[in-house]
Amino acid sequence: MTEKATFAAGCFWGIEDAFMQLEGVVSTRVGYTGGHTENPTYREVCGDTTGHAEAVLVEYDPQKISYDALLKLFWQIHNPTTLNCQGPDIGSQYRSAIFYHTPEQEEQAKRSKAEMDEAGRFKDPIVTEIIPATPFYEAEEYHQKYNQKHGRHCSI
């Protein structure tokens, strides 16, 4: 039986690519979540008016990989201290967020964030949101596995 995890950490192409490399990840889909517009398009999300973040929905086998391992990768692949910004990408659609699907995921995410803060890995405070998962709208098909199809155009 698989479980779901949803993360936002900037451009979803690179984030998806990173999670796809993990053994135990069954599938990934990129899309939009956390906003107020139903069935948004990429153009609408890029306009920064929908409230949605570019995100990756990860389906994983908890017998092969833990949620904590997914969190560990999440903290490694982006800068969680920049509000609404990752590298050259600016806007709330590029925010850092963990969308939890269960109370256990919420607890683990909050503990993980606190541990990262306490470890002092980042000189600035972590601004990552930890919020309940909301409807996930899959991005257009040409965005799915984009880096695999076209080479690395969006890095993390």
In a domain, 156, yes or no: no
Out of 11, 46, 85, 154, the active site residue is 11
SS (H, E, C) 91-104: CHHHCEEEEECCHH
Determine the structural domain holding residue 30 and report its residue range.
3-150
Task: Read off the amino acid at residue 102.
Answer: T
Residue 95 sits in a domain of what CATH number?
3.30.1060.10
pLDDT of residue 106: 98
In a domain, 18, yes or no: yes
55: β partners: 31
| pLDDT bucket at 146, cuts 50 / 70 / 90 | low
| pLDDT bucket at 50, cuts 50 / 70 / 90 | very high
| pLDDT bucket at 154, cuts 50 / 70 / 90 | low
Question: Is the overall model pTM greater than 0.85, yes or no?
Answer: yes
What average pLDDT does the structure give for the chain?
A: 92
In a domain, 8, yes or no: yes
In a domain, 117, yes or no: yes
**Which percentage of the chain shows pLDDT scores above 90?**
79
**CB-CB contact of 130 with 106 (8 Å):** yes
Using CA atoms, how far apart are residues 30 and 57, in angstroms rounded to an integer? Answer: 6
Whether residue 154 lies in the annotated active site: no
In a domain, 12, yes or no: yes
More confidently predicted of 154 and 13: 13
Sign, CA dihedral 114-109-64-23, equals negative
Using CA atoms, how far apart are residues 75 and 14, in angstroms rounded to an integer? Answer: 14
DSSP 8-class letter at 25:
E
pLDDT of residue 128: 98
Q: Cα 112 to the chain's mean position, in Å? A: 15
In a domain, 95, yes or no: yes
Specify the residue for token string 């996930």.
Answer: 136
Q: What is the pLDDT of residues 55-80, one digit of tens each?
A: 999 999 999 999 999 999 999 999 99
Q: What is the pLDDT of residues 65-123, one digit of tens each?
A: 999 999 999 999 999 999 998 888 899 999 999 999 999 999 999 999 999 999 988 88
In a domain, 91, yes or no: yes
The pairing of strands 96-100 and 137-138 is: unpaired
Q: How many angstroms separate the Cα of 82 from the Cα of each of 10, 90, 92?
A: 10, 10, 11
Q: Say if residue 155's pLDDT is above 60.
A: no
More confidently predicted of 155 and 43: 43
Q: How many domains does the chain have?
A: 1
C-alpha angle with apex 112: 105 to 20, nearest 5 degrees?
A: 70
In a domain, 155, yes or no: no
